[in-house]
Chains A and B, each alone.
Chain A
Amino acid sequence: MKIRTSLRITSTISILMMLGSTVGTFFAFKWLRQASAFELQLIDLQGDVFERTLLRDEYLLMARPQSLVRWKQKSLEIAGHLKDLSGRSLSPSSALLLDRMNQKFQATWALLPRIAALRSSNEGGESGKGSTWRIEQRLTNQLLVDTYLLSDSTKLLLLEARRDSIDERNNLLLLLALSTLALGLTVTSASTHLNHLLSRRVAVLKTWTYSISNGKLDYRIPLGGDDELADLAREVNDLAEKLQRTYESLEATNRELEAFSYSVSHDLRAPLRHLTGFVELLWRMDLSSLDVKSQHYLTVISDSAKKMGCLIDDLLSFSRMGRGEMMKRNVNMGQLVHEVIAEHAKDLPSGRFIDWRIGTLPTVVGDQAMLRLVLTNLVSNAVKYSRQVAAPIIEISASTDETHHVLCVRDNGAGFDMRFVDKLFVLFQRLHSSEEYEGTGVGLANVRRIITRHGGRTWAEGEPNIGATFYFTLPQGPEG
């Protein structure tokens, strides 16, 4: 299932539950209010019944007509209450109680007026006094019993109503607690689901992608399912597949190139060696019979063969520079520069003085042998192209930008025309004739190749007869 879909389902369920609990709470609250209103009404009723009882006693004891009138009024109020209550839907036991109240009320309804009538008819004479008194006593007793029963039923109904209202309140509380619990469970299960997605599946995705990006191109992320993460895993797998194919074809090309350079190394060198060898053997013979021109031809053959040997060797070293393994470690460029300069100083003709100006150079991460070659090439170029200057100055310094060390080698020698700057770093391209300055045009191509493999950049600035500056950059901090 898509993550988006499951998130949608989760939020829909949460919203529905909230709606449900709101509606439930609304009704529970409504019922609670109804139960409370019923209870209040019963309390009122109970009060009226009590008052009516007092009025009855007042009339029976003191026979005040006012009390009878008020008793009748109260009775009407109670009748109204009872009518109200009978419209209500009630539990069977409550309905039974209400029924009894109605009966007892109806029973008492006519009793007091009858007692009053008896009493007033007795006022006139004594005849039959005893029998009337007995009837009155019986009616009074009847009234007392029925009123007691009415009051008792009212009390019982009130108790029932109170219990109902307490039940409703408990129901409301229970409903609130349950809906809170259900919401909590939904949120918890949704977050567990998300956590599973994020922590486990994303971790799988991350670990395998890391392996692939670190060169394990034959790895495929084992993430099934049909969610967005599985889609992503499939994309990464496709990418790895493409990379692997490209890598394999590159490797095949590299193998071909290696075979080519092997063959160049062996096959081209042999005839050259024969050329120089046999010309050399010829020189060891008595050549006095040869004229000067013939001897010159021999010299040209010999020199050209040697030159070609150098070209082939340089070409092979250039090719090796591109494919050899790099052994990266910390390289102190300052120390390396001093070693390279010491080597060059050894070869300087006596009387020639170079003003070396060496700045503070950084320690970088790289292949020491390759970086030494870079410095050797740049320094020997600087020495070579400033040899016709009376006071040669060679300056080696470093600075940094955000990500790289920038090193530069500057001389005040022959320099070059900036129009041809593009040719400088290209294999076998030269800006000076080999009669002027010897060389095969491999040095700077090697410099560029080595620096590029280290993740840096090379460029140059120059002006004829003023000097040249060669720059190269190397990444700061551990690399690769």
Chain B
Amino acid sequence: MGMDLKKILLVEDSPNDAELTLEALKTARLANEVIWLKDGQEALDFLFCRDAYAGREKVNPVLILLDIKMPRVDGLQVLKQIKEDARLRSIPVVILTSSREEVDLLEGYNHGVNAFVVKPVNFNEFLHSVSALGTFWALLNEAPPITI
């Protein structure tokens, strides 16, 4: 298992948010490759190696950063399917959302999310939060075995 295999999955429908998040991850100086998926459906396709991702490397990401409000399949549904699947269950999932709603928080934790982070409006705080997340989950945290 080489370092190049430790991928971070970013599931985010807004290109602006994706760009800012990628920028923020960059400041954490992580070596991990970040894969950007544009909605929940694409994320599920990737995770379950379907359609466009049928032939991808059979390796799980080290971290999934998941937005909630997305077209087609939303973040909570993705989370539910991940946590219900025996092979995907161990992947750390962090919800990264602009919603402060209690319902989302509760549902997230009920479905077994590993962390729930509200995107701060202030960019410096956002930068700090995202890079801290990346550092913790991709560097400090001992990742689960990653082969499918």
The docked-state distance in angstroms from the alpha carbon of A274 to that of B126 is 11
As a 0/1 sequence over residues 97 to 131 of chain B, the CB contacts with chain A under 8 angstroms (1 = contact) are 11111000000000000000001111110110000
Task: State whether B101 touches A262 (Cβ < 8 A).
Answer: yes
Distance in angstroms from B101 CB to nearest chain A CB is 5
How far is it, in angstroms, between the C-alpha of A292 and the C-alpha of B121 when the chains are bound? 26
Instruction: Determine whether the beta carbon of A262 is less than 8 Å from that of B99.
Output: yes
B16 — nearest CB in chain A belongs to which residue? Answer: A274
Interface residue A316 (Cβ < 8 Å from any Cβ of B):
yes
Q: How far in angstroms is the closest Cβ of chain B from A312?
A: 8
B122 proximity list for chain A (CB < 8 A): 276, 306, 309
Taking a contact as CB atoms closer than 8 A, the residue among B17, B68, B100 that contacts A273 in the complex is B17
- Which B residues are CB-close (under 8 A) to A88? none
Q: Which residue of B lies closest to A316 (CB)?
A: B100
Q: Does A341 contact B (CB under 8 A)?
A: no
Inter-subunit contact B99/A276 (CB<8 Å): no
Pick the contact of B123 from A265, A266, A277, A316 — CB < 8 Å? A277
The smallest beta-carbon distance between A208 and chain B, in angstroms, is 34
CB pair A273 B101 closer than 8 Å = no
Give the residue name and chain of the A residue nearest to B101 (CB). A262
| Residue pair B124, A280 in contact (C-beta under 8 Å) | yes
Q: What is the bound-complex CA distance between A306 and B123, given in angstroms? A: 10
Tell me the interface secondary structure of chain A in the complex.
Answer: helix
Q: Which residues of A contact B124 (CB under 8 A)?
A: 280
Q: What's the minimum C-beta distance from B17 to chain A, rounded to whole angstroms?
A: 7
Chain A residue contacts of B141, Cβ below 8 A: none
Q: Which of chain A's residues 286-330 have a Cβ closer than 8 Å to chain B?
A: 305-306, 309, 313, 316
Evaluate contact between A266 and B99: CB separation under 8 angstroms. yes
- Interface membership of chain B positions 14-45, coded 1 if the CB is closer than 8 angstroms to chain A and 0 otherwise: 10110010010000000000000000000000
User: Given the interface contacts A273-B123, A280-B124, A309-B122, does A266 sit within 8 Å of B69 by beta carbon?
Assistant: yes
Which residues does chain B contribute within 8 Å of A266, judged by CB atoms? 68-69, 97-99
Is A309 within 8 A of B100, CB to CB?
A: no
Query: Interface residues of B toward A: which range?
Result: 20 to 34
By size class, the interface of chain A is 10 to 19
Q: Which residues of B contact A453 (CB under 8 A)?
A: none
B98→A269 contact, CB < 8 A: yes
CB neighbours (8 Å) of B123 from chain A are 273, 276-277, 279-281
CB contact between A278 and one of B20, B68, B119, B120 (< 8 Å): that residue: B20
Asked whether, in the complex, the Cβ of B101 is within 8 Å of the Cβ of A278, the reply is no
The verdict on A187 contacting chain B, using a C-beta distance below 8 Å, is: no
Shortest distance between the CB of B80 and any CB in chain A (Å): 19
CB pair B69 A276 closer than 8 Å = no
- When distances are taken between beta carbons in the complex, the residues of chain A under 8 Å from B127 are 280
Q: Are the CB atoms of A269 and B121 closer together than 8 Å?
A: yes
Q: Is the CB of B16 within 8 A of A265?
A: no
In whole Å, how far is A284's beta carbon from the nearest beta carbon of chain B? 9
Instruction: Determine which of B17, B97, B99 lies in contact with A274 in the assembled complex, contact meaning CB atoms within 8 Å.
Output: B17
Bound state CA distance, A226 and B27, in angstroms?
81
Within 8 A of B (CB), among A239-288: 262, 265-266, 269-270, 272-274, 276-281
State how many angstroms separate the Cβ of A335 from the closest Cβ of chain B: 28
Task: Output the nearest chain A residue to B119 by Cβ-Cβ distance.
Answer: A273
Interface 0/1 of A25-47, CB less than 8 Å to B: 00000000000000000000000
Residues of the A chain whose Cβ atoms lie less than 8 Å from the Cβ of B100: 265, 316
The list of the 10 closest CB pairs from A to B, nearest first, reads A309-B121, A280-B123, A274-B16, A277-B123, A277-B20, A269-B98, A276-B123, A266-B99, A273-B121, A266-B98
Q: Which residue numbers of B lie inside 8 Å of A, CB to CB? A: 14, 16-17, 20, 23, 68-69, 97-101, 119-124, 126-127
Besides A269-B121, A313-B121, 11 other A-B contacts (C-beta < 8 A): A265-B99, A266-B69, A266-B97, A266-B99, A270-B14, A273-B119, A273-B126, A274-B20, A276-B122, A277-B126, A306-B122
Question: Can you offer 13 A-B residue contacts whose CB atoms are under 8 A?
Answer: A262-B99, A262-B101, A266-B69, A269-B98, A269-B121, A274-B14, A274-B16, A274-B20, A276-B122, A276-B123, A278-B20, A305-B121, A309-B122
